[in-house]
Chains A and B, each alone.
Chain A
Amino acid sequence: MSRPDATAVASAIRSGALRAVDHARATLDAIDAANAGLNAYHEVFHEAALERAAAVDAMVAAGHDPGPLAGVCVAVKDNIATTLGQTTCSSRMLEGYRSPFDATVVTRLVGAGAVIVGKTNMDEFAMGSSSETCAWGVVRNPHDPTRTPGGSSGGSAAAMAAGLCDLSLGSDTGGSIRQPAAFCGIVGLKPTYGRISRWGLVAFGSSLDQIGPFASTVRDAALAYGVMAGVDAHDSTSAAVTVDDWQATPPIDPKALRIGVPSQYLRNNDPAVAEALDRALALLRAAGATIVDIDLPMTDHGISTYYVIAPAEASSNLARFDGIRYGHRADQRAGEGLEELYARSRSEGFGAEVQRRIMLGTYVLSSGYYDAYYDRALRIRRLIKQEFDTAFGQCDMILGPTAPTAAFAIGGVTDPLQMYMNDVYTVNTNIAGIAGISLPGGTDRTSGHALPVGVQLQAPAFAESRLLRVSELLERLLSA
């Protein structure tokens, strides 16, 4: 687990002090040694990674700069399209699916010198908070293999935490980057909605989905973010808002910093989570920051709002999987029509949680229920957004826990509603479309294992540079 961070790796490779091929080989060896126990990767690209690394070395030898991610080994969540290998969303529905194109984020990372080492396991179609709905088996937490790494981007978080890559990619629809980052003790950034192109990300909740990086340090998360962010002609919802170089922005003067703490984020947390938050607040206060008590009463309605909007969008997005153009098709039966073939293909291809969410989404959009559920949730969505707008008038950033607990046991949460409640602090970020980051905040030792807990910063839309600067400050304070 003690690897140099991605920034250091890229710098060593660009200077010729480290060969990309040697670094890639060491990473692949680490994966081969540990992946059977963790199930973080679904596919590993041994040959392609070494070839790509050799090309990076050749550029360095020829005096060309391969880019800011020179030779950096990146793991990609399996709902992000790659021409290398398969893109399965950890679903039988897409078993064997090969993308004819690369997602924009993959093209940008590779263009900056990165080496893609593999695709990581996840909750099926990103629907889950534990990576247990993965069709290719559960993913295990490197800090305690009897526990989940969180989800849905659990494979990417576990790979990062176990030192099986330098950076990894996740997607966050309701917390799917931040919660696994917290459970695995790493940094996970969910940028503002529209900040990073979703072209090539298999759609779940299109008004909520956002791609972001996992990293071991804030500067690494910023490095990956900087390469991926910015408008993309392929994604009409990517925002045409200038991405500034965060390092060109002045460091944060803690004395001018106002950190808001919502009273609604202080209830129902496990002691270790509450302790981590208290420690972060004490350190910020000691550094000169002002801590402001704020109020976000709509927090309590976030889960309900999310579990109307996200399944509604999912039921619509996943309608494309009908077994005709791609994906699983059921065996044809004599005399059976197309409709029955669609239905059987879908029920054979999708797992239980995906079908449950499609059912929920179809229900809230169906005639007679649309106004009571979907339309009402969209109105409450605006109230949640307005509440954040008001809060950001009183403070620069909001600090709270990422999740109410440390990683829970595999198989420990069986009731769907109880599982959904895990996202209480993360869903509203997506509902409002603002930015959020989870940082390692402390340790829960009550189980006998040292389990990480996270703290979360939330920032206004498109304020990533400032968010990263504050994260860097908090990271430094927490590690001192």
Chain B
Amino acid sequence: MAESPASLSSKDVAHVARLARLHLDEATVESYRTQLASVLSHIARLGQVETASVEPMAHPLDAVNRLDDDEPGAVLTVDQVLMNAPAREGDFIAVPKVLGGDSA
């Protein structure tokens, strides 16, 4: 394996949380560090299996890229699409400022 997972640091966990768009406080980072390290060290046993000559299998079915006929069908209305939006303005979903703000 690339690295012993027991060496998983709080910094690693914070990095993964950022990639996963999760907001974790310090105590949570520490508890996830311990739990993830334990699961990862179990998973590390996969390293014992000889896999060089085996093709990866992403999916149980052989079918690929099944395309629909190019015919219009029933679609959801704007109201149906927006009925679960937490914040709505007219026919739009309201979000914090995207351009010119701190996160831009």
A interface with B by C-beta (< 8 Å): 96-98, 100-101, 193-194, 207, 233, 236-237, 239-240, 301, 303-305, 307-308, 315, 319, 322-329, 332, 335-344, 346-347, 350, 355-356, 358-360, 362-364, 366, 368-369, 371-373, 375-383, 385, 415-417, 420, 432-433, 461
Contacts and interface: CB of A to CB of B under 8 A. Distances in A.
Interface string B1-34: 1110000000001001111111110000000100
Contacts of B19: 362, 366
B21 A319 contact: yes
Contact of B84 (A98, A376, A417): A98
B23 A344 contact: yes
Given A372-B1, A376-B47, A417-B38, A236 B20 contact: no
A322 B16 contact: no
A230 B7 CA distance: 48
Contacts of B42: 303-304, 307, 417
Given A346-B20, A379-B55, 15 more contacts: A303-B42, A304-B46, A307-B43, A324-B93, A337-B96, A337-B97, A362-B20, A372-B47, A373-B1, A376-B46, A379-B56, A381-B57, A417-B35, A417-B39, A433-B61
Nearest to B101: A337
A416 B39 contact: yes
Contacts of A344: 23
Nearest to A319: B21
Contacts of A236: 63, 66, 68
A363 B56 contact: no
A461 B60 contact: yes
> Which residue, A315, A372, A420, A432, has most C-beta atoms of chain B within 10 A?
A372
Nearest to A334: B96
A349 B17 CA distance: 15
Contact of B43 (A207, A308, A326): A308
B33 to A, nearest CB: 10
Given A239-B61, A360-B39, A375-B56, A337 B104 contact: yes
B90 interface: no
A193 B61 contact: yes
21 contacts: A98-B83, A98-B84, A239-B61, A308-B46, A323-B86, A324-B85, A327-B84, A329-B87, A336-B103, A343-B18, A343-B23, A347-B23, A355-B22, A356-B35, A359-B16, A360-B40, A362-B20, A363-B40, A369-B2, A379-B55, A417-B38
B2 A101 contact: no
A382 B9 CA distance: 32
Contact of A339 (B3, B58, B68, B103): B103
Interface string B43-87: 101110101001111111101001010000000100011011111
A101 B74 CA distance: 11
Given A337-B104, A359-B20, A101 B76 contact: yes
Given A194-B61, A416-B39, A338 B84 contact: no
